[in-house]
């Protein structure tokens, strides 16, 4: 069994994800091999809340350029976690 710190890497901080927190929806970067039940259990163990649903998606790499140097961003798995009513997380 994996520890929750092995599954949840960090919260995703964007305008959209910050606006969704008002509705009890939180977004995290997670391990690429983590399943929805593992993510649900990790969030419940880490923050002592009840999770209603988990949606996941794999982000693709994007090409970025700084001056004459080109590269790509990293690909990662993102989990969108909806909490039950009355639950919240302080990040």
* pLDDT recorded at residue 87: 83
Confidence of residue 62 (pLDDT cuts 50, 70, 90): very high
Which tens digits make up the pLDDT trace of 41-51?
999 999 999 99
Give the whole-angstrom CA distance, residue 13 versus residue 26.
10
- Evaluate if pTM is beyond 0.85: yes
Give the whole-angstrom CA distance, residue 21 versus residue 19.
5
Q: What residue segments make up the domains of the chain, in order of their start? A: 4-83
4-83 topology per CATH = Alpha-Beta Plaits (3.30.70)
* pLDDT recorded at residue 1: 61
Q: Is the pLDDT of residue 91 over 90?
A: no
Q: What single string gives the DSSP state of each residue in 6-44?
A: HHEEEE---HHHHHHGGGTEEEEEE-TT--HHHHHHHHH
Average pLDDT over residues 10-37: 94
Neighbours of 42 (CB within 10 A): 25
């Amino acid at each position: 069994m994996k520890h929750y710190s092995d599954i949840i890497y960090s919260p995703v901080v964007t305008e959209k994800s910050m606006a969704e927190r008002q509705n009890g929806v939180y977004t995290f970067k997670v391990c690429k091999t983590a399943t929805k039940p593992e993510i649900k259990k990790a969030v419940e163990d880490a923050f002592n809340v009840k999770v209603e649903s988990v949606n996941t998606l794999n982000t693709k790499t994007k090409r970025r350029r700084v001056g004459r140097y080109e590269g790509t961003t990293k690909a990662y798995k993102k989990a969108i976690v909806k909490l039950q009513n009355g639950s919240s997380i302080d990040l």
